């Protein structure tokens, strides 16, 4: 007697496939805000190093560049906090 062959699963097609792919992509989006914070922090550090390298004197535009970089880091942290709050509340 031969053993019965296992039934092959059919691959999802159409809308089912798209919905499953979107769900998997959505899970990866929880990591994106953490990476965004790191990327923005690196860019802010680059701006600050460049401004500091140009000269030690204070200049309005140098201060503005540093302030904008810091604001970008703050906004990325706010985004991270909102994402984690939604995760903890169970809405994601």
Predicted confidence (pLDDT) per residue in 25-56, tens digit: 767 668 888 999 999 999 999 999 999 998 88
For 20, the enclosing helix (H) or strand (E) is helix 15-28
Task: Give the pLDDT of residue 28.
Answer: 67
pLDDT of residue 41: 97
Q: Residue 44 domain-assigned?
A: yes
Catalytic residue numbers, as ranges: 41
pTM value > 0.85? no
CATH code at position 49? 1.10.287.3610
Which band of pLDDT confidence, cut at 50, 70 and 90, is reported for residue 92?
Answer: low
C-alpha of 39 from chain center? 9
Whole-number pLDDT of residue 22: 75
Considering its fold, how many domains does the chain have in total?
1
Residue 2 lies in a domain: no
Domain annotation covers residue 24: no
Note whether residue 18 is domain-resident: no
73 closest CA partner among 37, 46, 19:
37
Domain that holds residue 79: 30-89
Spatial neighbors of 44 by CB under 8 A, at least 6 apart, are 69, 70, 72, 73
User: Is 43 part of any domain?
Assistant: yes
| 23 within some domain | no
pLDDT at 84 > cutoff 70? yes
């Amino acid at each position: 007697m031969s053993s019965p062959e296992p039934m092959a699963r059919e691959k999802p097609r159409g809308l089912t496939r798209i919905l499953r792919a979107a769900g998997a992509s959505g899970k990866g989006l929880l990591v994106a805000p953490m990476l965004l914070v790191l990327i923005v922090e690196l860019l802010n550090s680059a701006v600050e190093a460049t401004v500091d390298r140009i000269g030690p004197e204070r200049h309005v535009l140098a201060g503005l560049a540093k302030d904008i970089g810091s604001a970008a880091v703050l906004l990325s942290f706010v985004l991270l906090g909102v994402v984690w709050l939604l995760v903890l509340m169970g809405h994601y």
